[in-house]
Amino acid sequence: MDDVSFEIEKGTTFGLVGESGCGKTTTSKTILGLYRPTSGGVLFEGQSLNGSSTETNDLRREIQAVFQDPAGSLDPRMTVGKIVEEPLEIRKSGDRAHRKEQATEILNAVGLRQEQYDRFPHELSGGQQQRVAIARALALRPTLVILDEPVSALDMSLRAQILNLLKDLQAEYHLTYLFVSHDLSVVRYMCDRVAVMYLGQVVESCRTQELFMKPLHPYTKALLEAVPVPDPEHQVAHKPLPGNVPSPINIPSGCRFHPRCPQVMPACSKLEPTLVEVSPGHVVSCHLYTQH
């Protein structure tokens, strides 16, 4: 990541989109504290998360995550009840009876039944496993939940159920979401604002509906053109982007997107663009919108 900066308004959903390898998951793991930034920092409600573990311990309980693969993120040796109780036990949240009561309440909230409390993850469907992962993330009543591709491992019939569940839980528990995805249709449904990343940088950010109605960066336009059209009678011709995302250890000079850009100009290979605000709340990093 290089100079990635954004703010998430409390109670909203902020989306991060881009091709695989652009830095979306690295960004989310840095916020979670799984990666430590070499420079810069993360602020949560005005307080830094870059201090020692003892200083940030209470803050970090306010930030939880739901990962892409529910089966891989759940301990196969633990029952559903134990999985949801574990963060409560670590935080010493009441006695055993109280923790079970809390776990049962949150499992009911995500749509799981009482008889599933003593089952193991392999006895559940993929959608049920992801509900368990969501319940575990909500057990400590966090403020911010990072959703890293939360429905990409599920079939289409389950995706809508989980997305609607996340919306309902956000309203009920007053949650703020960071939603990481490469699926633009899901991002459009879930997110209030969105940032488009390319090779470790944010190249465009604005309100979601504005991004879909008026994309500015050539990379954003290419992403939107690549979204399949569900109507077979309405085909939209588009030219795929040439080449692949460059290696992050061999970054092109100037604009990082210029080797693949259909609107490349001489300045693009020499000067690195900066984010500029072209309309209220809509920023883009492209020489098409800067004066030289």
Calpha distance 218→211 (Å, rounded): 12
Q: Which ranges in 20-155 belong to alpha helices (H)?
A: 24-32, 53-60, 70-73, 80-90, 96-109, 126-138
**Whats the size of the chain, residue-wise?**
292
Residue 237 has a pLDDT of 62
Q: Which two tokens stand for residue 39?
A: 């420079």
Residue 82 has a pLDDT of 95
- Written as tens digits, the pLDDT of the chain (292 aa) is 898 999 999 999 999 998 888 889 999 999 988 888 888 889 998 888 876 666 677 788 899 999 988 889 999 999 999 999 999 888 777 788 888 999 999 999 999 998 899 999 999 998 999 999 999 999 999 999 999 999 987 888 889 999 999 999 999 999 999 999 988 989 999 999 999 999 999 999 999 999 999 999 999 999 998 777 776 676 666 677 787 788 888 899 999 999 999 899 999 999 999 999 999 999 999 999 986 4
The letter for the amino acid at 198 is Y
- DSSP bridge partners of 44: 47
Domains and CATH numbers, the chain: 13-191 (3.40.50.300), 208-289 (no CATH)
Residue (of 284, 282, 250, 257) closest to 271 by Cα position: 257
Strands 282-284 and 276-279, how do they pair? antiparallel
Residue 53 has a pLDDT of 64
Q: How many CA within 13 A on the CB side of residue 19? A: 16
CA distances from 26 to 33, 37, 182, 201 (A): 10, 10, 14, 12
Residue 291 has a pLDDT of 60
Work out whether the CA dihedral 72, 77, 79, 83 comes out positive or negative: negative
Residue 186 has a pLDDT of 92
- Cβ-Cβ contacts under 8 Å for 276 (sequence gap 6 or more): 283, 284, 285, 289, 290
- Cβ-Cβ contacts under 8 Å for 85 (sequence gap 6 or more): 99, 100, 102, 103, 139
Phi, psi angle pair for 15, to nearest 5°: -100, 145
With residue 156 as reference, give the H or E element that holds it: helix 156-173
What would the DSSP string read from start to end of 177-239?
EEEE-S-HHHHHHH-SEEEEEETTEEEEEEEHHHHHHS--SHHHHHHHHTSPPS-TT-----P
Task: Name the residue with tokens 């969105």.
Answer: 194
Biggest CA–CA distance in the chain, Å, is 68
Residue 48 has a pLDDT of 86
Work out whether the CA dihedral 23, 151, 58, 34 comes out positive or negative: negative
State pTM to two decimals.
0.91
Residue 236 has a pLDDT of 63
